[in-house]
Amino acid sequence: MEALISAVLGDLVSRAISIMVEKRREQTTMETTAEQDLQRLHQLLLRISAVVEEAEGRCVTNRGMICQVSMMIKQMFRGYYLLDSFNCRKKKTDEEEVSHTSFSQSKFNPAKRFRRLSSNTQIESMLIGRDIGKELKQVILVLESMVADMKEFAIFLMSYPRMYRQPYGSYLFIDKCMFGRQMEREQAISFLLQAEPKGNLGVLPIIGPGLIGKSTFVEHVCDDERVRNYFSLILFYRKNDLKEESVTIFIDNCVIQHRNIASDEERSLVVIELLGDVDEGEWKRLLHTSERCMTHGSKIIITCRSEKVISFGTTKAIKLNCLSKEAYWYFFKMLVFGSTDPEDHPPKLTSLAMELSLEMRGSFIFAHVFAALLRANLNDRFLCKLLGVARAYAQKNSLVLDEYPKDDMSRYAWSIADNLQGPEDRKLFRMHHSQQKGLAAHSEVPKITLVDLLSGTLSAMPPGKFEVLSWSSLIPPYYSYIYACEVLQHKNTTP
């Protein structure tokens, strides 16, 4: 009997060793191939990034070129996201191997070691590794195809003039430039400068959810020198709806954004920014009267959250959506770390920051708020705390929170005390309706910021309801976003 048990144990040990050697050989091969692929991906991303930056600094008007650059940008974000994901996973795998090595040297019997080697976690890890490896090769193939056609593309690109005023480089001043909408901007400008048949009034609809950046997008379009030189007058209409608006009253309610005295043409650009829904009958009435009053070559831009305005356009609508997770991570990483190179920041911090970016649901405001918190406390302990807060926030608001929640919905948030050692006294506060104020109302902006509440730097929480500044944009139209807040309770717990 003892001989039989010894033979069985010997066979188990032999199989365990064989499986371990085979897995190690397979893993080594995968790691070698992956390292080569990562190096190749990094080289391709540097070349693509250079071309994208050059394209964003030129006045590209060809729709095909704009589409091609947009595809490059999309694949560039995807490549950087995959590069960071792979490096973070490799770091995690290395740490697990050290743990497994320590385990194998312990005095457990061979049968237990065999069960550990064949665990579901390891099998799952290998499967995930293979999936990431496949995606890595796919991205490399796509980027290589783009690079192969780059010579011809670069020749066409050089034929377009540089912008009159270069924007802030997104790689240097990410918080002082419009991120991720450059090609859509060129598409809008191309339409505005395009001649219309006589008697037609060109209309460009721009749609998207609240806080997605429609006003910022339009400001950047209208601030372009080509647009300002083309139109003698740029007017902005900012009201909830168009009810009972005659053309005379409509024009009186417009704000002059720009007047070009030197222009020989009397072309006007009217920007209509609507918050509420639009009645088709009211729009047709206003448009019909405007066609008779506005000179030939004039244009209208209408922005709205409702997709009904798509049918109002004389050209294809520009739809502003949330950034993809890859583009959003690139944006957030630049805000926090100030670099696209994964070697410039620790893998553990990168991994935690990537998880945090997924919890923020594409919000530009949250990206700036959390980035400000992290820049002041860039360590893994604080990042873990902040990640826990973000997850608690998402869980507590799961019934009312969308990617971009409605303004009239109340949301909850935890405050983070500045004591990072163990449990601390936390205050749960509710954020009510939000509002945005322009540069003219800068003096009315509250002194307390959302960063102050979340960081726990306030010496005393204001009683009752109070206003808090969530974020002030550094780019036109320089809006400040304000929430009404209310402290609900105190808790000695961690999220």
pLDDT in tens, 244-273: 566 666 777 788 888 887 777 789 999 999
Report residue 274's pLDDT band, with 50, 70 and 90 as the boundaries: confident
Beta carbons of 30 and 125 less than 8 angstroms apart: no
Structure token digits, residue 43: 């080289």
Tell me the pLDDT tens digit for each residue of 306-331: 888 999 999 999 999 889 999 999 99
Q: What residue spans of 57-198 are helical by DSSP H?
A: 63-104, 110-117, 120-148, 150-158, 182-192
- Distance between CA atoms of 54 and 156, rounded to whole angstroms? 12
Beta carbons of 253 and 239 less than 8 angstroms apart: yes
Q: How far apart are the first and last CA of the chain?
A: 56
Q: Does the pLDDT at position 141 exceed 80?
A: yes
Edge to edge, what strands does the sheet with 425-437 contain?
Answer: 411-414, 425-437, 480-492, 465-472
Q: Does the pLDDT at position 420 exceed 60?
A: no
Determine whether 466 is exposed, middle or buried from the number of CB atoms within 10 Å of its CB (0-12, 13-18, 19+): middle
The confidence score (pLDDT) of residue 99 equals: 46
Cβ count near 148 (within 10 Å): 9
* Torsional class of 225: left (φ above 0), alpha (ψ -120 to 50), beta (otherwise): alpha
Beta carbons of 450 and 470 less than 8 angstroms apart: yes
- The larger pLDDT score, comparing residue 359 to residue 170, is at 359
- Distance between CA atoms of 401 and 394, rounded to whole angstroms? 7
Q: How many helices (H) and strands (E) does the chain have?
A: 15, 10
The confidence score (pLDDT) of residue 399 equals: 53
The string over 319-346, giving b where at least 16 C-beta atoms fall within 10 Å of a residue's C-beta and e elsewhere, is: ebebbeebbbbbbbbbbbbeebebeebb
Cα distances (angstroms) measured from residue 334 to each of 175, 183, 358, 371, 413: 9, 20, 15, 9, 25
- Going by C-beta distance under 8 Å and a sequence separation of 6 or more, which residues neighbour residue 100? 116
The confidence score (pLDDT) of residue 166 equals: 47
Query: HSE (CB half, 13 Å, CA atoms) of 138?
Result: 9
- Distance between CA atoms of 230 and 153, rounded to whole angstroms? 28
- Distance between CA atoms of 315 and 345, rounded to whole angstroms? 45
The confidence score (pLDDT) of residue 169 equals: 43
Q: Which residues pair with 490 in a beta bridge?
A: 427
Mean model confidence pLDDT for the chain: 78
CA 8 centroid distance within chain: 57
The confidence score (pLDDT) of residue 406 equals: 53
Tell me the pLDDT tens digit for each residue of 185-237: 989 999 999 988 887 899 999 999 888 999 999 999 999 889 999 999 999 98
Mean pLDDT over residues 121-141, rounded?
67
- Distance between CA atoms of 342 and 353, rounded to whole angstroms? 12
The confidence score (pLDDT) of residue 197 equals: 84
The confidence score (pLDDT) of residue 245 equals: 61
Q: Does the pLDDT at position 390 exceed 70?
A: yes
Q: What residue spans of 338-461 are helical by DSSP H?
A: 347-359, 364-376, 380-396, 450-455
Beta carbons of 484 and 421 less than 8 angstroms apart: no
The confidence score (pLDDT) of residue 4 equals: 57
Beta strands in 157-232 (DSSP E): 202-207
Q: Does the pLDDT at position 96 exceed 80?
A: no
Report residue 36's pLDDT band, with 50, 70 and 90 as the boundaries: confident
